[in-house]
Structure 1
């Protein structure tokens, strides 16, 4: 009987056509994930006029999608570790695509709001499944890069929403803009074969033939003939994956990760919403302020790709902590700058070190926990982070009502970045589970204790 360590078998694989397909369809889903979330802003002026909505009602409808994302990330993240990520991922794609497409035939604000919430549920379930799947099956030294590329397609989704709205709104109306959201639903049969359940779920449920098929796709050069005993994955622990977040010395790491996600998303959403207003307050024209927003998002894309590469080389935690410190410094300096070129550089750095670092934070969470609880961990961290995203714009509004000097406004937005850096500093990279040392592969401190099942 041949013994195969699953983690080593996957790590030794070369990047191949299956990896490319898995990454391509993951990015495709994320593109429409973001499209469905923000396209509401593109059609909002038309809807307010057609349905006679006031700003408060329109804003509330926008919040339903974000609230749905928070609930969906937690709910579907937990279900993915129980039922399998492939099943939950497909259900999430169907839910957000169908709900968003049906928004195009909603007769009024009530029905539209319900569909926005349902779409948000599906959107929330996407990220925990995709990040966990890519982490599970990435070759050695590729996980952070995979996730960095994936997270950049959030920005692609925002660009797509803008272009589709510009193209379809004048000629076909707002309904057609939402019908485009059905495209992932139509292409689901083509991407289906690239969705894989985690090796831990397949092994734990005795689905050995499916495990063999998955491993053969990921590493076709590997030897899987004859009787095989699979090892290299930690035993599924008793109780729920939620409880497991706080057992075996994981409690401190879990709490610190949640604090970091809350603080980072508070900072990101607050700055994203209020940066143009803050720059206008500082004496810059509105057009210049909007330019800062473009540079901020370009910095986010560049930062995500660069930090992903650096994380694969040096370790995620070693990259995250200094990046959050730099983000706080660059935000603070924005309040004192008066040279346009210097300000643009500072805004670029801010985007790279806030949004870029936050995107890589998902990779850190995915690799910090064992495979059997990975989607749960990502879902809950994302859900807690969404609370910070909700607080961020309100936090900025409160600051502006206090009529503080513009330097103080930027300083207060920078402070959460320091808290995020401090929180990640206290996340222990190595822990013990069931008396055995978990593997600390640099930043990829996920457990790889032995657990086997014979074919």
Structure 2
């Protein structure tokens, strides 16, 4: 009987048309993930006038989406590891698409708020399942790059929302901008051809035929040997995936990852919210300040792609820690600069090292944990990160009310970057037992302890 090591079989496969299709539809979904959040800001002036909303009420409605996303990331991440990623990803897309499209028919703020929360719940379930699925089936030398490409489409979604609002709002009203969200539902039958449950889940359920089909698509081979034994995957551990986050010497790593995610998203969201205001406080005109925001986001896209390639070459942790340190240094220097060219360069570096590093962090998490708990791990890390994203704008607002010097505001925003770097630094990578060090999240040492992929950067 032939034996196939699933870890090596998938990891050593060449990137092919099927994986390109999987990547394309993942980017398509993530585009609408961000679209939903940004489009609210685009129609907010109209809604405030039509429904007589005050700033506080309008802000509260805007927070329902992110809160729903936080809950959805945790809930659907856990469910994906229990019932399969394909089912949960499909359910998340349907929930998000239907709730968002129906938001365009909401007669008032109450109904709109409920639908926004439901839409956020669906959106929250998309990222953990998509990233976990890509990691399950990505070639070893392309895994970080594939995640990096997908994460860039958050920015694409923001750009799309702005353009859609510009085109549809004057002619068809604010409702039409939400009806656009029905598109993922229409394309769902095409996407489902590329949605795959993890090999571990397929083996657990006894779906050997489906696993053989998936491996044939990934490898490009017409068929596998008739008689084959599958090896190379870690067996599901007893208990829940949530509990497994803290067993087998994962506890410290899990806590440090959560700290890093919270701090990084606090820094990113706080900075994107308050950067224009901070630059106005520094004496720049509003138009110039908005330019800094554009440069920050462009830097984030470029940084994500570059860091993805570097992570594939050197290991994710070796890239993340110095990038957060550089981000903190760039932010601190922003408060002392007065040359426009130098400031734009610092803002671009800040975007590359904050947004870029945060995006690559998802790849780190997806590789740090075994496949049977991967969606749970990403979902919980994302959920904790969303808490930081909610705190970030408030943190910036408090700083501004203190009337501190501009340089001090930037220094305070740099502190979360330093904490994130330290947190990732303390995430343990290698677990040794019996004189042997394993090098993949699905591989075991002799006592069963998992070891993240970064630990094997020098392993064959």
Give the alignment's TM-score, normalised by structure 2.
0.95
Distance 2:453 2:88 in 1: 29
Residue 200 of structure 1 contacts residue 233 of structure 1 at CA under 8 Å; is this kept in 2? Answer: yes
Residue 43 of structure 1 contacts residue 174 of structure 1 at CA under 8 Å; is this kept in 2? Answer: yes
Structure 1 match to 2:92: 92
Q: Give the superposition deviation at 1:439.
A: 4.9
Q: Tell me, which stretches of 5 or more residues in structure 1 are unaligned?
A: 446-455
Distance 1:314 1:354 in 2: 19
Residue 317 of structure 1 contacts residue 443 of structure 1 at CA under 8 Å; is this kept in 2? Answer: no
Q: Give the superposition deviation at 1:441.
A: 3.5
Structure 2 match to 1:264: 264
Distance 2:140 2:177 in 1: 41
1:225 counterpart SS class: coil
Distance 1:338 1:149 in 2: 34
1:2 has 2:21 as partner? no
Matches within 5 A, 1:196-235: 196-221=196-221, 224-235=224-235
Q: Give the superposition deviation at 1:431.
A: 2.9
Structure 1 match to 2:439: none
Structure 2 match to 1:245: 245
Distance 1:324 1:121 in 2: 29
Matches within 5 A, 1:167-182: 167-182=167-182
Structure 1 match to 2:435: none
Distance 2:159 2:232 in 1: 42
Distance 2:230 2:95 in 1: 35
Structure 2 match to 1:76: 76
Distance 1:231 1:122 in 2: 34
Distance 1:444 1:176 in 2: 50
Matches within 5 A, 1:271-286: 271-286=271-286
1:442 has 2:439 as partner? no
Distance 1:61 1:26 in 2: 28
Q: Give the superposition deviation at 1:436.
A: 3.8
Q: Give the superposition deviation at 1:444.
A: 7.2
Q: Tell me, which stretches of 5 or more residues in structure 2 are unaligned?
A: 433-443
Structure 1 pair 270–289 and aligned structure 2 pair: CA distance change class (3 A): same
Structure 1 pair 261–443 and aligned structure 2 pair: CA distance change class (3 A): farther
Q: Give the superposition deviation at 1:437.
A: 5.6
Residue 103 of structure 2 contacts residue 178 of structure 2 at CA under 8 Å; is this kept in 1? Answer: yes
Name segments (4+ residues, structure 1) moved above 4 Å: none
Q: Give the superposition deviation at 1:14.
A: 1.0
Structure 1 match to 2:316: 316
Q: Give the superposition deviation at 1:12.
A: 1.8
Matches within 5 A, 1:11-410: 11-221=11-221, 224-410=224-410
Distance 1:437 1:78 in 2: 21
Structure 1 pair 431–379 and aligned structure 2 pair: CA distance change class (3 A): same
Q: Give the superposition deviation at 1:143.
A: 0.4
Distance 2:367 2:453 in 1: 9
Structure 1 pair 80–411 and aligned structure 2 pair: CA distance change class (3 A): same
**Per-residue displacement from partner, 1:104-159 (whole Å, max 9, x unpaired)?**
00010000000000000000000000000000000120000000000000000001
Residue 368 of structure 1 contacts residue 444 of structure 1 at CA under 8 Å; is this kept in 2? Answer: no
**Per-residue displacement from partner, 1:69-95 (whole Å, max 9, x unpaired)?**
000000000000000000000000001
Q: Over aligned residues, Cα RMSD in angstroms?
A: 1.2
Distance 2:222 2:6 in 1: 11
Residue 248 of structure 2 contacts residue 448 of structure 2 at CA under 8 Å; is this kept in 1? Answer: no
**Per-residue displacement from partner, 1:358-414 (whole Å, max 9, x unpaired)?**
000000000000000000000000000011111111111111111111111000000
Distance 2:11 2:317 in 1: 20
Q: Give the superposition deviation at 1:204.
A: 1.3
Residue 316 of structure 1 contacts residue 444 of structure 1 at CA under 8 Å; is this kept in 2? Answer: no
Structure 1 pair 55–308 and aligned structure 2 pair: CA distance change class (3 A): same
Give the alignment's TM-score, normalised by structure 1.
0.96
Distance 1:231 1:223 in 2: 18
Residue 364 of structure 1 contacts residue 444 of structure 1 at CA under 8 Å; is this kept in 2? Answer: no
Q: Give the superposition deviation at 1:37.
A: 1.8
Distance 1:127 1:135 in 2: 12
Q: Give the superposition deviation at 1:220.
A: 2.0
Distance 1:265 1:423 in 2: 14
1:230 counterpart SS class: strand
**Per-residue displacement from partner, 1:309-358 (whole Å, max 9, x unpaired)?**
00000000000000000000000000000000000000000000000000
2:414 counterpart SS class: helix
1:442 counterpart SS class: helix
Q: Give the superposition deviation at 1:430.
A: 2.0
